[in-house]
Amino acid sequence: MDTSKKNNVYSRTDSSKVNISDEEWRKILPADVYAIAREKGTERPWTSKFEDSKEVGTYYCAACGNPLFKSDTKFESGCGWPSFYQPISKSSIIYLADNSHGMTRTEVECGRCKAHLGHVFDDGPPPTGLRYCINGVVLDFEKAKAAEKKYNEGEQSKEAKKGE
């Protein structure tokens, strides 16, 4: 990430809407994030480090810090982009009709800053049946707290012992 740019709208706790011009976004976002978030670009499939990540934690909007998805709603879709079946809350995401490229799709944007995230399709797993197909470039991931991680490790070693 380009650390020479200071993003003063980024916050994981402030839920107030961010409404600034593309010009201002260009100043504070790394070029790859800008290209997807503000110009509705799409990263090449299979290029995101999050695509097959199974780490426990929370995914935030890389442009503004809005919490978007929990790792436990992430699933392996095989589509080449990080996929989730449910956002953290109703207000996490905005839905828009997208008829570009001769297709009828539903675009998803960040509920706080309207960054383009990806699309949602209705071929996902239960309980929602939805597949949020998200560009990894516009996601920021933070691992769950150490205590939670330790708990999970404990559960895993219990499982391992059972198998002995």
Contact residues for Zn ion (CB under 5 A)?
Answer: 61, 63-64, 66, 110, 112-113, 115
Tell me the catalytic residues.
133
Beta carbon of residue 86, minimum distance to Zn ion (angstroms, whole number): 18
Nearer to Zn ion by Cβ, of 46 and 95: the residue is 95
Kind of pairing between the strands at 131-134 and 74-75 = unpaired
Minimum CB distance to Zn ion, residue 123 (Å): 25
The distance of closest approach from Cβ of residue 81 to Zn ion in the complex, given in angstroms and rounded to an integer, is: 17
Residue 75 CA to residue 104 CA, distance in Å, equals: 24
By C-beta, is 111 or 124 nearer to Zn ion?
A: 111
Q: With respect to Zn ion, which residue has the nearer C-beta, 51 or 109?
A: 109
**Structure tokens belonging to residue 80:** 């080449």
